[in-house]
Amino acid sequence: MFVLSAGPVMAGESLTDCVAEPDDRLRLACYDNFSKRSPGSSIQSPGNPVPVAKQPAAATEMRPGASEMSKAWELGENDKGGTFALKTYWPNFLLPVHYTSNLNRSPSSPTHPTSPDNPDYRKTEAKLQISLRAKVAENLLLPGADLWFAYTQLSLWQIWDRQDSSPFRNTDYQPEAIYVVPVPEKMGTLPFGWHLRMLQLGAAHQSNGQSDPLSRSWDRVYLGAGFERDDFSLLFRLNQRLDVRSGDDNPDLVDYIGRGEVKMGWTPGVSTVELTWRTPFNTLSRGSLQMDWTYPVFAAQPTGLRWYAQVFTGYGETLLDYNHRQTSLGLGLTLFQF
């Protein structure tokens, strides 16, 4: 039996001593003193010690379930949001000031004559984009793979041309089906901290809904791959055009706008930057380069209304301009994002 003291038990005392103490009052005091030897220590049974919980090590790499790309495309099991829930696809914006260096007043194509000139059209117009998507099937064919349907509408609006009643100069309509396959973490880990997050197989139709000689359209299938590293993302897509006929509205379209594209996203803080490069691969004189930048209108609401700036240079800002080279600058606001 050990002697009870007012302070902590001595270093040589143990729980065995406490258990052996016949006096209930002294035994409880022994337990109490033993528990005070190290703050936060637990009373343990000598024959069955409670393991100390290990603190999780700092994450050295981003898991698919924790990545922005995984959240956006619901790649991980914890990211799944069910079917038929509407989400944004590409950015939704209104640019009331969109200035072009070379307005296409007389669009043409190899199979259609040059359209009548529009001398009243102004180089400053508005640009509007609405882009939405919804998942229609989850875990389809492959583990975690989903099928999405999307719709994007892009318009150039001569809002400042009051003489012609502010017409829409062109509107492109693009319905799309996208099959998205998540890449397992072990297979997708790449050098320098990069991760292959997903593969895509898509089919899209794009047309401007106009009659000849301004009609433009094409159908395509594409393969895509999404990569991510910290706050950077890359999306590669290769397009294969379908059903090119002799009387096609724009048989040489891919020679101008390109057969593939690369999208690079960067989120430095609360701002976002996206760079899109489209290329025909066989020349650098065609294709296009576009940069999109956003920043919150109100610093306290980074997910709310955002300023939007866009710079474009090259061919194919719209289908009507697929073979027309120009440089444009647009300023405005995002419309919504969810």
Reported pTM? 0.78
Residues 147-190: tens digit of each pLDDT: 999 999 999 999 998 888 889 999 999 999 999 999 999 999 99
Residues 214-234: tens digit of each pLDDT: 999 999 999 999 999 999 999
Let me know if 207 is a catalytic residue.
yes
Let me know if 131 is a catalytic residue.
no
Query: CB-hemisphere CA count at 13 Å for 68?
Result: 12
Average the pLDDT over 95-123 and give the result: 89
What is the pLDDT, as a whole number, of residue 16?
56
| pLDDT confidence band for 24 (50 / 70 / 90) | low
Whether the predicted pLDDT of 139 surpasses 50: yes
CA–CA separation, 94 and 126 (whole Å): 7
Summary mean pLDDT of the chain: 85
Whether the predicted pLDDT of 3 surpasses 80: no
CA–CA separation, 327 and 313 (whole Å): 4
Domains (range + CATH), the chain:
1-51 (no CATH), 65-334 (2.40.230.10)
Whether the predicted pLDDT of 332 surpasses 70: yes
Burial (0-12, 13-18, 19+ Cβ within 10 Å), 314: buried
What is the pLDDT, as a whole number, of residue 33?
62
CA–CA separation, 201 and 178 (whole Å): 6
DSSP per-residue letters across 70-130: HHHHT-SGGG---SS-EEE-S--EEEEEEEESS--SS--BTTBPPPPP-TT--SEEEEEEE
Residues 283-312: tens digit of each pLDDT: 999 999 999 999 999 988 888 899 999 999
Number of neighbours of residue 145 by Cβ within 10 angstroms: 18
Active-site residue (options: 115, 207, 217, 271): 207
CA–CA separation, 301 and 297 (whole Å): 8
pLDDT over 70 percentage in the chain: 80
Strand, helix or coil for residue 197: strand
Nearest to 152 by CA among 104, 208, 107: 208
Active-site residue (options: 205, 215, 217, 271): 205
CA–CA separation, 90 and 153 (whole Å): 10
Whether the predicted pLDDT of 37 surpasses 80: no
Average the pLDDT over 269-274 and give the result: 94
Contact of 161 with 126, CB cutoff 8 Å: no
